[in-house]
Amino acid sequence: MTVSTNLHDRFFKEVFSGRDVAQDFLRHYLPMPVLDLLDLSTLEAMKDSFVDEQLRAHFSDLVYRISMKLPQPAYVCLLLEHKSYPDRQVPVQLLRYMAQIWGHVFDQQPGIKYLPVIIPLVFYHGAARWSESHNLGSLFDINPTLAPHFPDYRYLLFDLSTMTDEEIRGAAKTRMTLLVQKYFFDDKLLDKLGELSCISKELPADGNRDKYLRSVAQYLLGTDKITRKDLENFLDQATDGRGGDIMPTIAETIFDEGLQQGLQQGLQRGVLQEAQKAVIEVLEARFGAIPRAAADVVAELLDITLLRSLRKQAVMSSSLEEFTLLLEESRTRH
């Protein structure tokens, strides 16, 4: 199954944008010599986007500012980049990203004496182990005479694919997030749902708990390792029988986001075309490439209400086959 990287990036950014998860994750997984230099209580997300349009497809755009434990004021930037597949170009991509951050600092503080050190950390959770080198120099055959003129650096790597469940540490939300990402591509995901529901009981019982569980469920809609019914059972266990309430909310959220985007772009391409595109995008995010015949049927539909209904069905259907049957029935009725 082909899964859109945007699905992984969105879930990653939703969770790790939270200060509590970011602090907890770094506390448990930064190398101790690095951690000893940092005051994590000062961590704050740098809300400015440093990524140009060409790079947006590659970056999750998470940068934190953290003060150092020094007598004089100083801070570092920690660049947390997410990857769901091995990528040899990461050192070059990160270098461009770091250059943008330093350029931004110069723009904001023209008289600054020292630029902040940037700690690049790649978060990886793909199906295969990360086999790429961790430093920029590995991409070049450098003549020793030219080496002093070469800007080499090494990034930190958090490789979730190499970790056992026992090595996954942290607070409940951190552990649950890491387990969900670890098993997203794994046939054992179904067996892990019980453990995940138990961990969810440790989450604070407030409005953020349901919001987080909706994010988890929306993310898991993109895997083919479990069915919609499995997901509903998981939510029932995690919410004391309220899973049936959360699933429609997820469908409405996804639909409303797509509708809002369609309305914003309607002047350029038309609401109808956006509604057709929305159905296709949900199907591709959930089931990978879809048959051309199904895409053609959607493109022929001119009823905006029907298309909105089909988008919800695309979210809720447990398989592409189930959605195709609904699509044929809808076309026959209209």
- Residues 79/60, Cβ–Cβ less than 8 Å: no
51-98: per-residue pLDDT in tens?
A: 555 555 445 568 899 999 987 677 888 888 888 888 898 999 899 889
248-272: per-residue pLDDT in tens?
A: 565 455 445 544 454 444 434 456 7
- Residues 64/45, Cβ–Cβ less than 8 Å: yes
6-31: per-residue pLDDT in tens?
A: 788 889 989 999 999 999 999 999 99
Nearest to 9 by CA among 43, 55, 69, 76: 55
pLDDT of residue 10: 85
> What is the DSSP pairing of strand 156-159 with strand 62-67?
unpaired
Between these two residues, 5 and 176, which has the higher pLDDT value?
176
Chain centre distance of CA 301? 32
- Residues 63/79, Cβ–Cβ less than 8 Å: yes
- Residues 221/214, Cβ–Cβ less than 8 Å: no
103/85 Cα distance (integer angstroms): 29
**Residue labelled with tokens 């939300």:** 173
Query: Residue 182: pLDDT band by 50, 70, 90 thresholds?
Result: very high
12/16 Cα distance (integer angstroms): 6
Query: Residue 49: pLDDT band by 50, 70, 90 thresholds?
Result: low
Query: Residue 179: pLDDT band by 50, 70, 90 thresholds?
Result: very high
- Residues 114/102, Cβ–Cβ less than 8 Å: no
Question: Which alpha helices (DSSP H) does 73-133 contain, by range?
Answer: 90-108
Helix, strand, coil fractions of the chain, as percent rounded to 5? 60, 10, 30
pLDDT of residue 286: 79
Mean pLDDT of the chain: 82
Between these two residues, 237 and 315, which has the higher pLDDT value?
237
90/127 Cα distance (integer angstroms): 18
- Helical pair 320-333 and 304-316, crossing angle rounded to 10 deg: 160
pTM (2 d.p.): 0.71
pLDDT of residue 258: 47
**Can you give the length of the chain in residues?**
334
Going from N- to C-terminal start, the domains of the chain cover 5-162, 246-333
> How many C-beta atoms surround the C-beta of residue 185 within 10 A?
18
Using DSSP's 3-state secondary structure scheme, residue 69 falls into coil
Query: Residue 331: pLDDT band by 50, 70, 90 thresholds?
Result: low
What DSSP state is assigned to residue 123?
E
The helix or strand, by DSSP H or E, that contains position 82, with its residue range, turns out to be strand 75-83
**Residue labelled with tokens 């993109």:** 222
- Residues 126/85, Cβ–Cβ less than 8 Å: yes
